[in-house]
Amino acid sequence: MALQLMKYAVYGRVQGVYFRDNAVKQARAVGVAGWVQNNLDGSVGGEAIGKPENLAKFQEWLNQGPPSARVEDLKTEHHEIEEDHFYGHFERRKGRGVGPPAFTKA
């Protein structure tokens, strides 16, 4: 079974609105593993691993976020991965990351 890694960064009013807590609930509900964190630039970002159809459901949710959020932009990058690169769960990271996950320059 092919798994994908999705790096993502969500911009807008996404901090202080329980975005990360709701992302954890949504990811677990659709069967996605990985992590989410606040970033110093005001975005929320992370990595998600799962089947392409499950990642699509999670990405759809990221485009809207929880009711109190206002998503203005979502950047994603998808990569095929080996099954041994698997988190096993989805977690909310404390603190703030330096920035969104590094995207591959095209």
- Rounded to whole angstroms, the Cα distance separating 35 from 28 reads 11
The pLDDT tens digits of the residues spanning 6-25 come to 999 999 999 999 999 999 99
Provide φ and ψ at 24, rounded to 5°: -60, -50
pTM comes to: 0.85
Q: Around Cβ 90, how many Cβ atoms within 10 Å?
A: 25
Question: Which residues are part of the catalytic machinery?
Answer: 20, 38
The pLDDT tens digits of the residues spanning 53-76 come to 999 999 999 999 999 999 999 999
In this structure, is the dihedral angle defined by the CA atoms of residues 38, 24, 14 and 78, taken in order, positive or negative?
positive
* Residue 48: closest CA among 64, 65, 33, 38: 33
The pLDDT tens digits of the residues spanning 77-96 come to 999 887 655 567 787 877 76
- Rounded to whole angstroms, the Cα distance separating 72 from 89 reads 27
